[in-house]
Protein backbone atom coordinates (compact mmCIF):
# COMPACT_ATOMS: atom_id res chain seq x y z
CA UNK A 1 0.00 0.00 0.00
CA UNK A 2 1.07 3.57 -0.52
CA UNK A 3 3.06 4.93 2.39
CA UNK A 4 0.74 7.31 4.30
CA UNK A 5 3.78 9.47 5.08
CA UNK A 6 4.14 10.08 1.33
CA UNK A 7 0.63 10.78 0.13
CA UNK A 8 1.99 12.02 -3.19
CA UNK A 9 3.45 8.63 -3.99
CA UNK A 10 2.21 7.16 -7.24
CA UNK A 11 -0.49 4.51 -6.78
CA UNK A 12 -0.47 1.27 -8.75
CA UNK A 13 -3.80 -0.15 -9.87
CA UNK A 14 -3.45 -3.71 -11.09
CA UNK A 15 -5.84 -4.69 -13.87
CA UNK A 16 -6.68 -8.39 -13.56
CA UNK A 17 -8.86 -8.76 -16.69
CA UNK A 18 -6.44 -11.08 -18.44
CA UNK A 19 -6.40 -13.60 -15.62
CA UNK A 20 -10.05 -14.01 -16.56
CA UNK A 21 -9.13 -14.15 -20.26
CA UNK A 22 -6.98 -17.22 -19.57
CA UNK A 23 -9.66 -18.78 -17.36
CA UNK A 24 -12.33 -18.24 -20.01
CA UNK A 25 -10.19 -19.89 -22.68
CA UNK A 26 -11.18 -23.20 -21.06
CA UNK A 27 -14.48 -22.15 -19.57
CA UNK A 28 -13.65 -23.34 -16.05
CA UNK A 29 -12.68 -21.60 -12.84
CA UNK A 30 -8.86 -21.60 -13.10
CA UNK A 31 -7.00 -19.26 -12.92
CA UNK A 32 -9.24 -17.30 -10.58
CA UNK A 33 -8.98 -13.50 -10.98
CA UNK A 34 -10.01 -12.99 -7.36
CA UNK A 35 -7.02 -15.06 -6.23
CA UNK A 36 -4.93 -12.76 -8.44
CA UNK A 37 -6.45 -9.73 -6.71
CA UNK A 38 -5.49 -11.14 -3.29
CA UNK A 39 -1.95 -11.71 -4.55
CA UNK A 40 -1.80 -8.21 -6.04
CA UNK A 41 -2.78 -6.77 -2.65
CA UNK A 42 -0.04 -8.77 -0.94
CA UNK A 43 2.49 -7.65 -3.56
CA UNK A 44 1.87 -3.93 -2.96
CA UNK A 45 -0.91 -2.92 -5.37
CA UNK A 46 -2.93 0.08 -4.20
CA UNK A 47 -6.07 -0.88 -6.07
CA UNK A 48 -7.65 -3.45 -8.36
CA UNK A 49 -8.98 -2.52 -11.77
CA UNK A 50 -11.43 -4.67 -13.71
CA UNK A 51 -13.30 -4.01 -16.94
CA UNK A 52 -16.72 -5.61 -17.25
CA UNK A 53 -17.20 -5.57 -21.01
CA UNK A 54 -20.56 -5.76 -22.70
CA UNK A 55 -19.58 -9.12 -24.26
CA UNK A 56 -18.14 -10.45 -20.93
CA UNK A 57 -15.05 -11.66 -22.77
CA UNK A 58 -12.98 -11.61 -19.59
CA UNK A 59 -14.50 -10.44 -16.29
CA UNK A 60 -18.00 -11.69 -15.46
CA UNK A 61 -20.75 -10.24 -13.31
CA UNK A 62 -19.93 -12.86 -10.67
CA UNK A 63 -16.27 -11.77 -10.67
CA UNK A 64 -17.28 -8.17 -9.96
CA UNK A 65 -19.58 -9.28 -7.13
CA UNK A 66 -16.77 -11.35 -5.60
CA UNK A 67 -14.20 -8.55 -5.95
CA UNK A 68 -16.49 -6.18 -4.08
CA UNK A 69 -17.26 -8.77 -1.39
CA UNK A 70 -13.81 -10.27 -0.89
CA UNK A 71 -11.12 -7.69 -1.70
CA UNK A 72 -10.25 -4.92 0.74
CA UNK A 73 -8.43 -2.76 -1.83
CA UNK A 74 -10.39 -0.08 -3.67
CA UNK A 75 -11.99 -1.42 -6.86
CA UNK A 76 -11.86 0.66 -10.03
CA UNK A 77 -14.59 -0.65 -12.33
CA UNK A 78 -13.98 0.14 -15.99
CA UNK A 79 -17.28 0.42 -17.81
CA UNK A 80 -18.91 1.66 -20.97
CA UNK A 81 -21.52 4.40 -20.62
CA UNK A 82 -24.54 2.11 -20.99
CA UNK A 83 -27.63 1.72 -18.81
CA UNK A 84 -26.72 -1.91 -18.14
CA UNK A 85 -23.26 -1.03 -16.79
CA UNK A 86 -24.62 1.91 -14.83
CA UNK A 87 -27.09 -0.45 -13.12
CA UNK A 88 -24.27 -2.86 -12.24
CA UNK A 89 -22.08 -0.05 -10.88
CA UNK A 90 -24.93 1.34 -8.78
CA UNK A 91 -25.65 -2.15 -7.41
CA UNK A 92 -22.05 -2.88 -6.39
CA UNK A 93 -20.84 0.67 -5.61
CA UNK A 94 -17.15 0.20 -6.35
CA UNK A 95 -14.76 2.85 -5.03
CA UNK A 96 -14.31 4.23 -8.56
CA UNK A 97 -15.74 3.86 -12.05
CA UNK A 98 -13.67 4.66 -15.11
CA UNK A 99 -15.85 5.30 -18.14
CA UNK A 100 -14.23 3.93 -21.29
CA UNK A 101 -15.36 3.77 -24.91
CA UNK A 102 -16.22 0.26 -26.04
CA UNK A 103 -16.52 -1.17 -29.50
CA UNK A 104 -17.50 -4.80 -29.88
CA UNK A 105 -14.91 -5.64 -32.53
CA UNK A 106 -11.93 -4.09 -30.77
CA UNK A 107 -9.31 -6.28 -29.12
CA UNK A 108 -8.84 -3.84 -26.25
CA UNK A 109 -9.83 -0.24 -25.48
CA UNK A 110 -8.34 1.36 -28.54
CA UNK A 111 -9.00 5.05 -28.17
CA UNK A 112 -10.01 7.54 -25.53
CA UNK A 113 -13.54 8.62 -24.78
CA UNK A 114 -14.83 11.59 -26.80
CA UNK A 115 -15.80 13.55 -23.67
CA UNK A 116 -16.21 16.68 -25.78
CA UNK A 117 -18.39 15.29 -28.55
CA UNK A 118 -20.44 13.07 -26.25
CA UNK A 119 -20.84 15.42 -23.31
CA UNK A 120 -24.64 15.41 -23.42
CA UNK A 121 -24.88 11.63 -23.31
CA UNK A 122 -22.10 11.30 -20.69
CA UNK A 123 -23.52 13.91 -18.30
CA UNK A 124 -26.18 11.65 -16.69
CA UNK A 125 -23.64 8.86 -16.17
CA UNK A 126 -21.17 11.14 -14.40
CA UNK A 127 -24.01 12.61 -12.32
CA UNK A 128 -25.63 9.31 -11.29
CA UNK A 129 -22.34 7.61 -10.41
CA UNK A 130 -21.23 10.65 -8.43
CA UNK A 131 -24.55 10.82 -6.55
CA UNK A 132 -23.96 7.19 -5.53
CA UNK A 133 -20.60 8.13 -4.01
CA UNK A 134 -18.55 6.50 -6.80
CA UNK A 135 -15.45 8.41 -7.87
CA UNK A 136 -15.79 8.92 -11.61
CA UNK A 137 -12.90 8.91 -14.02
CA UNK A 138 -13.03 9.46 -17.79
CA UNK A 139 -10.50 7.63 -19.97
CA UNK A 140 -9.41 10.24 -22.52
CA UNK A 141 -6.59 11.11 -24.87
CA UNK A 142 -3.99 13.56 -23.52
CA UNK A 143 -5.73 16.42 -25.31
CA UNK A 144 -6.58 19.83 -23.84
CA UNK A 145 -10.10 19.88 -25.32
CA UNK A 146 -10.92 16.50 -23.81
CA UNK A 147 -9.59 17.57 -20.41
CA UNK A 148 -11.65 20.76 -20.49
CA UNK A 149 -14.71 18.71 -21.41
CA UNK A 150 -14.07 16.24 -18.57
CA UNK A 151 -13.77 19.11 -16.08
CA UNK A 152 -16.96 20.70 -17.44
CA UNK A 153 -18.74 17.37 -16.96
CA UNK A 154 -17.77 17.41 -13.29
CA UNK A 155 -15.62 14.29 -13.40
CA UNK A 156 -13.11 14.51 -10.51
CA UNK A 157 -10.60 12.24 -12.24
CA UNK A 158 -9.28 11.72 -15.77
CA UNK A 159 -7.23 8.75 -16.90
CA UNK A 160 -4.92 9.64 -19.77
CA UNK A 161 -4.51 7.04 -22.51
CA UNK A 162 -0.85 6.02 -22.69
CA UNK A 163 -1.37 3.74 -25.71
CA UNK A 164 0.11 6.13 -28.30
CA UNK A 165 3.15 6.64 -26.02
CA UNK A 166 3.57 2.90 -25.47
CA UNK A 167 3.03 1.97 -29.11
CA UNK A 168 5.54 4.56 -30.31
CA UNK A 169 8.25 2.95 -28.16
CA UNK A 170 8.08 5.75 -25.63
CA UNK A 171 8.41 8.68 -28.05
CA UNK A 172 9.49 11.96 -26.48
CA UNK A 173 6.66 13.78 -28.27
CA UNK A 174 4.02 11.44 -26.86
CA UNK A 175 5.58 11.74 -23.40
CA UNK A 176 5.45 15.54 -23.70
CA UNK A 177 1.76 15.33 -24.66
CA UNK A 178 1.12 13.29 -21.50
CA UNK A 179 3.11 15.73 -19.36
CA UNK A 180 1.34 18.81 -20.76
CA UNK A 181 -2.09 17.22 -20.47
CA UNK A 182 -1.48 16.06 -16.89
CA UNK A 183 -0.29 19.53 -15.88
CA UNK A 184 -3.35 21.15 -17.42
CA UNK A 185 -5.69 18.67 -15.74
CA UNK A 186 -4.10 19.24 -12.31
CA UNK A 187 -4.32 23.01 -12.83
CA UNK A 188 -8.08 22.52 -13.39
CA UNK A 189 -8.39 20.64 -10.09
CA UNK A 190 -8.59 17.14 -11.56
CA UNK A 191 -6.83 14.04 -10.24
CA UNK A 192 -4.88 12.41 -13.06
CA UNK A 193 -4.35 8.72 -13.76
CA UNK A 194 -2.71 7.02 -16.73
CA UNK A 195 -2.76 3.63 -18.32
CA UNK A 196 -2.62 1.32 -21.29
CA UNK A 197 0.35 -0.53 -22.70
CA UNK A 198 2.71 0.24 -19.79
CA UNK A 199 5.60 -2.19 -19.28
CA UNK A 200 8.86 -2.42 -17.34
CA UNK A 201 10.56 -0.86 -20.38
CA UNK A 202 8.36 2.23 -20.72
CA UNK A 203 6.86 2.93 -17.28
CA UNK A 204 9.65 5.00 -15.74
CA UNK A 205 9.34 8.23 -17.78
CA UNK A 206 5.57 8.25 -17.18
CA UNK A 207 5.95 7.46 -13.48
CA UNK A 208 8.44 10.32 -13.17
CA UNK A 209 5.82 12.88 -14.26
CA UNK A 210 4.79 14.45 -10.95
CA UNK A 211 1.18 15.18 -11.90
CA UNK A 212 0.09 11.56 -12.10
CA UNK A 213 -1.54 10.07 -9.00
CA UNK A 214 -2.15 6.54 -10.29
CA UNK A 215 -1.12 4.15 -13.05
CA UNK A 216 -3.38 1.29 -14.10
CA UNK A 217 -1.47 -1.64 -15.56
CA UNK A 218 -2.73 -5.04 -16.65
CA UNK A 219 -1.74 -6.93 -19.76
CA UNK A 220 2.03 -6.71 -19.31
CA UNK A 221 1.88 -7.73 -15.64
CA UNK A 222 -0.27 -10.78 -16.33
CA UNK A 223 1.95 -11.77 -19.25
CA UNK A 224 5.11 -11.33 -17.18
CA UNK A 225 3.55 -13.39 -14.40
CA UNK A 226 3.76 -16.42 -16.69
CA UNK A 227 7.55 -16.18 -16.43
CA UNK A 228 8.26 -14.79 -12.99
CA UNK A 229 5.01 -15.03 -11.03
CA UNK A 230 2.45 -12.30 -10.37
CA UNK A 231 3.88 -11.11 -7.06
CA UNK A 232 7.34 -10.69 -8.51
CA UNK A 233 6.03 -8.85 -11.59
CA UNK A 234 3.99 -6.44 -9.47
CA UNK A 235 6.84 -5.86 -7.02
CA UNK A 236 9.20 -5.06 -9.89
CA UNK A 237 6.70 -2.61 -11.39
CA UNK A 238 6.26 -1.01 -7.96
CA UNK A 239 10.06 -0.66 -7.60
CA UNK A 240 10.37 0.99 -11.02
CA UNK A 241 7.55 3.43 -10.21
CA UNK A 242 9.02 4.29 -6.80
CA UNK A 243 12.50 4.74 -8.26
CA UNK A 244 11.14 7.09 -10.94
CA UNK A 245 9.51 9.20 -8.22
CA UNK A 246 12.45 9.19 -5.82
* Residue closest to 213 by CA, chosen among 229, 197, 193: 193
Choose the stretch contacting ligand PXP; rule: CB under 6 A; options: 38-46, 116-124, 125-133, 212-220: 212-220
User: Closer CB to ligand PXP, residue 71 or residue 159?
Assistant: 159
155 touches ligand PXP (CB under 6 A): no
Q: Which of 18, 58, 161, 196 is catalytic?
A: 196
Binding mask 108-147 for ligand PXP (x = CB under 6 A): xx-----------------------------x--------
Q: Residue 31, preceding bond cis, omega within 30 degrees?
A: yes
Q: What's the full length of the chain, in residues?
A: 246
100 touches ligand PXP (CB under 6 A): yes
195 touches ligand PXP (CB under 6 A): yes
> How many angstroms separate the first and last alpha carbons of the chain?
17
Q: For this structure, is 196 an active site residue? A: yes
Rounded Cα gap, residues 182 and 65, in angstroms = 33
User: Closer CB to ligand PXP, residue 146 or residue 216?
Assistant: 216
Compute CA distances 115 → 100, 111, 133, 146, whole Å: 10, 12, 21, 6
Residues annotated as catalytic are 51, 78, 196
Amino acid sequence: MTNPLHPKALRLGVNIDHVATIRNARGGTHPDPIRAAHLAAAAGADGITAHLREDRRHMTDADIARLVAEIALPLNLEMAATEEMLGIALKHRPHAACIVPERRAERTTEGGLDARGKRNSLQPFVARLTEAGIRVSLFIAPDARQIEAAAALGSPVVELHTGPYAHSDGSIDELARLADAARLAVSMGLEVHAGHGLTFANVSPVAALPDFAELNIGHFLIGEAVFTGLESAIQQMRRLMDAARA
